[in-house]
Amino acid sequence: MIKLLRPEQHVCTEKDGQGKRCDGSLKEYYPFSDYFNEVDRARQKEIEREIGRRDKNIPLLRCQLCGQLYYHPLFKWK
């Protein structure tokens, strides 16, 4: 679910059913912080299951168009 952010990557590379790239901009995303209202609890559980902890300062990036999540290669978890 969470993809690795490649060097120099600034846009989403997720492809749709027709093979076209999304190219949506990536914004910082903190799914467990107090000020961010994440309404999709199933997505929170999925992120927690993949990362292995519930840290409110997890530095993720999220595509503004399709919602794909990315993490920085220097971020280590588990």
Q: What is the model's pLDDT at position 38?
A: 62
DSSP string, 3-26: EEPPTT--B---B-TTS-B--PBE
Q: What is the model's pLDDT at position 20?
A: 93
pLDDT tens-digit readout, 16-69: 889 999 999 999 888 877 666 566 778 888 888 887 766 777 778 999 999 899
Residues contacting residue 71 through CB under 8 Å, at least 6 positions apart: 2, 3, 4, 5, 59, 60, 61
Residue 76 has pLDDT above 70, yes or no: no
In the chain, what are the domain boundaries?
A: 2-71
Distance CA 25, CA 39 (A): 21
Q: What is the model's pLDDT at position 22?
A: 94
Name the token pair of 25.
Answer: 């901009």
Give the predicted TM-score (pTM) of the model.
0.80
